[in-house]
Amino acid sequence: MTLMPDSAESAGLDSADSSCEERTVKQLLLMAGQALKARGADADEARLESELLLLEMTGKSRAWLRAFDDTRLSLEVQHRFEQLLQRRLSGEPLAYILGRKDFWSLELYVTDAVLIPREDTEVLVTQALQLGRQLEIETGQTVLDVLELGTGSGAIICALATEETLWQFTATDVSAEALAVATTNVTGHGFAGQTTLLLGSWFDALENGMAASHESAAPRFDLIISNPPYIAEGDPHLDAPALRHEPALALSSGTDGLDSIRHIVAAASRWLQPTGWLLLEHGYDQGPAVRKLMRQAGYENVATALDLAGQPRVTMARHSVAAVQIAGAAK
């Protein structure tokens, strides 16, 4: 859905009327639904979003809204509801307005400091679980060490931790604000005991951690995973109303969108176990380029998994002696 900014009056919000009359639940939902449909939402989407916004103000259930839709709401609740609705009409994503987003089996806290977790990224979680469990069978391990680069909200780490309670996670992010969001989610869902969060850009966060702890040997991970920025700078999609509200640092990376992926592929072998896997989410049209980068870096078993729409979304590759030699020669 594309929502275009406009004035409250032209969106169907008559501030003069709403400020002096207590409206019913039904009247508010009808008004909001009409305004959202005028901005491009279909009927079901408009109804759902209207209800979610009103639930945020009333603390009631959707069943209550429908059963007691003749209830009149206070002018204060009405005014706050219309403020939230106007934010939505201006194009702000619903997740940022509500401060939460469902991902995997979890409800996650989000702010505009992080990307909104998307369903396509669940493919990355699924592939990491499959490859990790395969590693456990091959090696006899019961505890895997997993590194996520650019964790954002912590959605991927939290999803993996719900499924694998013995795995140990390290997650990095260059943004202190994003890391604070991840900390809230990791702690709130009970995963703090198996998770270490580090501030820094990509592998620099690990280097900083080593320096702070006076460790000389780099830690090695069984899985390194990332959903890095991969949209090309100047791509017209960046002007979409929803993306304009998301952090640019987490969206675009170089003229072809592959700068971050190049860096991760080139540097990852130093941090991988000899049997480890590297998994990267990328754009639907970047599969061939990412596979080429991985093969050039000496990785083996390079493959790409499709998302729910059948588009190439996650490319994975296995560590090899060749990857170590190429990475060493590149230093």
Asked whether residue 202 is marked as a ligand-binding residue, the answer is yes
Asked whether residue 208 is marked as a ligand-binding residue, the answer is no
CA of 194: how far to CAs of 104, 113, 147, 232, in Å?
Answer: 19, 24, 12, 35
Q: Please compute Rg for the chain using Cα positions.
A: 23
Chain centre distance of CA 93: 13
d(CA 276, CA 217): 17
Asked whether residue 200 is marked as a ligand-binding residue, the answer is no
d(CA 10, CA 86): 11
Asked whether residue 320 is marked as a ligand-binding residue, the answer is no
Residue type for 124, please?
L
Q: How many CB atoms lie within 10 A of CB 107?
A: 13
Residues 6 or more apart whose CB falls under 8 angstroms from that of 237 comprise: 231, 243
Asked whether residue 40 is marked as a ligand-binding residue, the answer is no
Asked whether residue 33 is marked as a ligand-binding residue, the answer is no
d(CA 143, CA 140): 9
Chain centre distance of CA 319: 26
Structural contact between residues 103 and 97, judged by C-beta atoms closer than 8 angstroms: no
Instruction: Give the three-class secondary structure for 247.
Output: coil
d(CA 170, CA 221): 9
Asked whether residue 150 is marked as a ligand-binding residue, the answer is yes
Residues in the chain: 331
d(CA 198, CA 317): 25
DSSP states along 71-94: -B--HHHHHHHHHHHHHHHTT--H
Asked whether residue 153 is marked as a ligand-binding residue, the answer is yes
d(CA 285, CA 199): 31
Asked whether residue 173 is marked as a ligand-binding residue, the answer is yes
Nearest C-alpha neighbor of 179 from the set 229, 247, 233, 113: 113
Residues of the binding site for substrate? 227-230
Residues of the binding site for S-adenosyl-L-methionine? 150-154, 173, 202, 227
Residues of the binding site? 150-154, 173, 202, 227-230
